[in-house]
Amino acid sequence: MLWEKKRLWSPPAQLKTSYDAVIIGGGLHGLATAYFLARNHGMRRVAVIEKRYIGFGGAGRNTAIVRANQRTQENLPLYKEALDLWPVLTSELDFNLMFYNCGILNLAHSEAALKAMRLQVATAQFHGVESRLVDPQECKELVPALDISDRPRYPIYGGMYHPPGGIVRHDALVWGLAKGAAKHGIHIHQGTEVTGIGVENEKIVFVDTDKGKIHTPCVLNAAGAYAAAVSYQMLRIRLPISVLTIQAMVTQPLKPLLDHVVSSGSYHCYANQTLKGEIATGAHMDPWPNYTTQNTAYYIKHQAEALTELMPCLKGIKFMRIWGGLADMTPDMAPILDGNNPVKGYFMDCGWGYFGFKSSTVTGKYMAQFMATGECPEILKPFTLRRFEQHRLMGETAALVNYSPDN
């Protein structure tokens, strides 16, 4: 029947007492890993344990921008593959992820920022990703609403244009992956809290939850912003992570005026127009760690100032909705992807900061491979937790966001 409502997936009846793998966190990384464990490696006795509901955390709070113009050789290939995966997953999951590759324009407001972009563009081009420098005139042609005069406090010097980047509907990805994972027999347990992880002889043996004990040899910590707290509280493994609230907001709906993602490191502002016409825009992070996801008047004001400086035609537009999410920041802006070290059977997929959305599917694919085979795939090797004690921090921090007009 045309109007018959059908659930995308059905929750499993009850928690089993043993699974081949337990994934902590029903966010995008957890769901993607579960999906690829079943699809690529035939591991179907897998449970995803989610304390609240799937998509509650970062998965449903990010601003849905996807791109592959990162700075370093280690990071970029991962994001490139992620970008290539969207159309593939859309058909594979049989779910419209609403991938809109509208292109991303990063603005430079100083000579130093342009120099930094030159390096970023070179990395992208070396890896076969389309990305190029543009002058202020071309910025204006791409986004006519931009003010390229010398009126703003930080005038536009040029930009970096990355045509294959764009937007993916984040809720659709949550639902699509849950549907795909459940179809392959994965158990997704919502409203279930992990309360402890059992280790014997340096090996994972069980996971305790508020609904009962699960015997398992394999655990993935994909708890997003809560991963570091879980790791310390349950295993006494400390991680180099700070959890910061990042805020985002949408304006009232407008007629189409912005058909690219536009971002500016100096103004700490990125914006795109959603299909509903709202300008979705994101802001600074709170300068102190906290778990609140609260919003502050301080940043609403900042965001209004930044948006209207960049695009004066937005003056007088009202913010309609505002929310906050948590970002687990590492010192080098790169994630921690590791496993079997120091505890056998314990895997980590955390420390993504605000890059967790765009990387979720591809990371799930490779983490699944890591968990199923026990061999760390080449592409994940640079992200070991050990890099911090080896002083091999990655150079992603030097990307644009740190370049201000003062450099």
Q: Which residues bind another protein (CB under 8 A)?
A: 226, 228-229, 232-233, 238-243, 286-292, 294-296, 298, 331, 388-391
Nearest CB to another protein, comparing residues 131 and 209: 209
Q: Are 160 and 108 in contact (CB under 8 A)?
A: yes
Burial (0-12, 13-18, 19+ Cβ within 10 Å), 357: buried
Burial (0-12, 13-18, 19+ Cβ within 10 Å), 378: exposed
Nearest CB to another protein, comparing residues 378 and 389: 389
CA distance linking residue 58 with residue 66, whole number of Å: 14
Nearest CB to another protein, comparing residues 164 and 335: 335
* Least spacing, CB of residue 388 vs another protein, in Å: 5
Q: Are 132 and 117 in contact (CB under 8 A)?
A: no
Nearest CB to another protein, comparing residues 121 and 333: 333
Beta bridge partners of 250: 280, 321
* Least spacing, CB of residue 240 vs another protein, in Å: 4
Nearest CB to another protein, comparing residues 243 and 271: 243
* Least spacing, CB of residue 222 vs another protein, in Å: 16
Nearest CB to another protein, comparing residues 65 and 337: 337
Order of all β-strands in the sheet with 279-285: 132-134, 158-162, 104-108, 261-264, 269-273, 279-285, 242-251, 319-329
Nearest CB to another protein, comparing residues 284 and 365: 284
* Least spacing, CB of residue 243 vs another protein, in Å: 6
CA dihedral 69, 311, 64, 403 (to 10 degrees): 40
Cis peptide before 240 (omega within 30 of 0): no
* Least spacing, CB of residue 297 vs another protein, in Å: 9
Q: Which of 296, 286, 303, 282 is nearest to 245 (CA)?
A: 286
* Least spacing, CB of residue 225 vs another protein, in Å: 9
Given CA atoms 183, 189, 191, 194 in this order, what sign does their dihedral have? negative
Residue for token pair 């990355």: 162
* Least spacing, CB of residue 141 vs another protein, in Å: 38
Helix 28-41 crosses helix 356-373 at what angle (to 10 degrees)? 40
Nearest CB to another protein, comparing residues 242 and 274: 242
* Least spacing, CB of residue 195 vs another protein, in Å: 14
* Least spacing, CB of residue 232 vs another protein, in Å: 5
Nearest CB to another protein, comparing residues 233 and 373: 233
Q: What angle do CA 365, 80, 175 make, to 5 degrees?
A: 50
CA 140 from centre of chain: 29
Residue 352 makes CB contacts below 8 A (sequence gap 6+) with: 29, 58, 224, 327, 328, 335, 359
Nearest CB to another protein, comparing residues 5 and 238: 238
Q: Which two tokens stand for residue 61?
A: 């709070």
Q: Which of 268, 280, 274 is nearest to 305 (CA)?
A: 268
Q: Are 270 and 106 in contact (CB under 8 A)?
A: no
* Least spacing, CB of residue 124 vs another protein, in Å: 29
